Amino acid sequence: DSGVTQTPKHLITATGQRVTLRCSPRSGDLSVYWYQQSLDQGLQFLIQYYNGEERAKGNILERFSAQQFPDLHSELNLSSLELGDSALYFCASSGKGGGLAAYNEQFFGPGTRLTVL
Amino acid sequence: DAKTTQPPSMDCAEGRAANLPCNHSTISGNEYVYWYRQIHSQGPQYIIHGLKNNETNEMASLIITEDRKSSTLILPHATLRDTAVYYCIVSHLLNTGFQKLVFGTGTRLLVSP
């Protein structure tokens, strides 16, 4: 158990819909990362937040957005869903500060499996 | 971002050492080498990381060549539970001071009895 929790575990929805995935980081971790893992693309970094602010952006679509709240939990919003958005979405957390602490390892949650029909 | 090259698959007998190679010839001086593994569809699990010195922890050892262009992850006594996909990653340091991990396709390690 990494200490990172994600809800829901599974999500089935239809094309065109909008969903919200939730992540609670390990106690004390200030950074939250979102990743998408699909069969054909592997594990792709989407976005990172540190203490409520966006710090790094990867291959995140404009239809996707995220935020980190004052209690440090994070949500990933996926809208206008397409069949190709079906994937495992992982959240990870790390670190208790910036600078050299940015090299801390990331702890991954169990993931949310999204199926778009 | 520095790229990594790993063999797509490897086999190892239970109880033997598993040596997983990784090539990262374009690595920069301030980029770290990280190793993660993923068992089935679980979340990736951190194993070890290093900059230029060899590192060891309770899970594995990391050997980085002097020119830092390649590294080897060593699982000293592989067990069946070590069957997983192993990812070698070169962290990309952003100007914000934070790192970005770019996962490749990894090596699928199969440990057999």
Question: How is residue B17 written in tokens?
Answer: 């050492």
- Rounded to the nearest 5°, which phi and psi values hold at A3? 95, -5
**Mean pLDDT computed over every residue of chain B:** 92
Q: What is the mean pLDDT of each run of 10 residues along chain A (117 residues)?
A: 94 97 94 90 88 90 97 97 96 71 79 97
Tell me what the mean pLDDT of segment B67-81 comes to.
96
Q: How far out from the chain centre does Cα A96 lie?
A: 18
Q: What is the mean pLDDT of residues B35-58?
A: 93
Locate the chain B residue with the closest alpha carbon to A48. B100
DSSP B31: P
Residues in a beta bridge with B73: B20, B62
Looking at beta carbons, which residues of chain A come within 8 Å of B41? 37, 88, 111, 113
Q: Say if residue B30's pLDDT is above 60.
A: yes
Neighbours of A1 (CB within 10 A): 7
The strand ranges marked E within B14-59 are: 18-23, 33-38, 45-50, 55-56
pLDDT value at position A99? 47
Surface of A (1-20) touching B: CB under 8 A: 2, 4
Mutation for testing the A interface, residue in B90, B95, B96, B108 having most A CBs under 10 Å: B96
CA-nearest of B38, B60, B33 to B47 is: B60
Percentage of residues in chain B with pLDDT exceeding 90?
A: 73
Q: How many whole angstroms separate alpha carbon A64 and alpha carbon A23?
A: 15
Alpha-carbon distance B16 to B104, whole Å?
Answer: 26
What pLDDT is stored for residue B105 in this prediction?
87
Query: What pLDDT does residue B41 have?
Result: 86
